[in-house]
A and B are shown apart, each in its own frame.
Chain A
């Protein structure tokens, strides 16, 4: 699975959009981009995933560049409850592959 690079920390004002970048320059054609988050002391929570096209759900939007070498997770209106560590993970979508491997992620602090 391709390696990902994320900034260690970011701040965002409450009510503004939080844009979390992820670099995955070695991604291959059959690898998905997944985003999870972990609110303090809780188990990680799935947010969104995608392959090539941009994706949106009730929690966030995922923007993947055309060359797929980077992506951005967007929380459109960040709240204090969005303060968490956000993990970007790249993984091949096939049976027999190993489970998700988590890095250190980005610590997002939403500030009132």
Chain B
């Protein structure tokens, strides 16, 4: 069982380039999330989607856009990459965003902006 799948796993971008991180879950979850994790730091929430058709900003949304394409897929786009966006990106999903629901994470996407 795949769970949460992210692509690509590794990417190097030049400053100013754009790219989209793809995420898909096969657990029929309503809620999906994008986090970033910088070296030695905890996870910080970028954007989330409580349900299909809705998206909301998290702690650090600047420089990113998201699309909840359908119930399964939630993509994260960097329109003009900056070195400060070098990080590991984690996509996650949960049944919904109410009480006690476990959040399941993907394996991460390593992004380097040079």
Do A and B assemble together?
Answer: yes
Contact B100 A42 (CB under 8 A): no
Q: A85-110, CB under 8 A of B: which get 1 and which 0?
A: 00100000111111111111100000
Size category of the B interface is 20 to 34
Query: Which are the 4 A-B pairs with shortest beta-carbon distances?
Result: A43-B105, A93-B99, A102-B43, A46-B102
Selected interface stretch from B11-19, B63-71, B78-86, B89-97 = B89-97
Interface membership of chain B positions 91-114, coded 1 if the CB is closer than 8 angstroms to chain A and 0 otherwise: 010101111101111111000000
CB within 8 Å of B: which A31-84 residues: 32, 36, 41-46, 49
CB neighbours of A49 from chain B (8 A): 100
Task: Tell me the complex Cα distance, A96–B4, Å.
Answer: 23
* Cβ 8 A contact of A44, one of B31, B96, B105: B105
Q: Using a Cβ–Cβ cut-off of 8 Å, how many residues does chain A contribute to the interface with B?
A: 23
B102 touches A44 (CB 8 A): no
A94-B99 in contact given A99-B31, A99-B33, A102-B42 (Cβ < 8 Å): yes
Q: Which residues of A contact B48 (CB under 8 A)?
A: 98-99
24 residue pairs bridging A and B, Cβ less than 8 Å apart: A32-B99, A42-B108, A43-B106, A43-B107, A43-B108, A44-B43, A46-B103, A87-B42, A93-B98, A93-B99, A94-B98, A95-B98, A97-B97, A97-B98, A98-B45, A99-B45, A99-B48, A99-B58, A99-B97, A101-B45, A101-B59, A102-B42, A102-B43, A105-B42
Give chain B residues whose Cβ lies under 8 Å from the Cβ of A104. Answer: 41-42
Would you call A99 and B108 a contact (CB within 8 A)? Answer: no
Q: Which chain B residues lie closer than 8 Å to A46 at the CB level?
A: 102-104
Q: Which residues of A contact B (CB under 8 A)?
A: 32, 36, 41-46, 49, 87, 93-105
Chain B residues, Cβ within 8 Å of A100: 103
Chain B neighbourhood of A97, CB < 8 A: 97-98
Q: How far is the CB of A79 from chain B (nearest CB, A)?
A: 21
| Residues on the A chain within 8 Å of B4, using CB | 43
Question: How far apart sit A97 and B96, CA to CA, in the bound complex (Å)?
Answer: 11
Chain B residue, CB-CB nearest to A103? B42
Residues in B neighbouring A95, C-beta threshold 8 A: 96-98
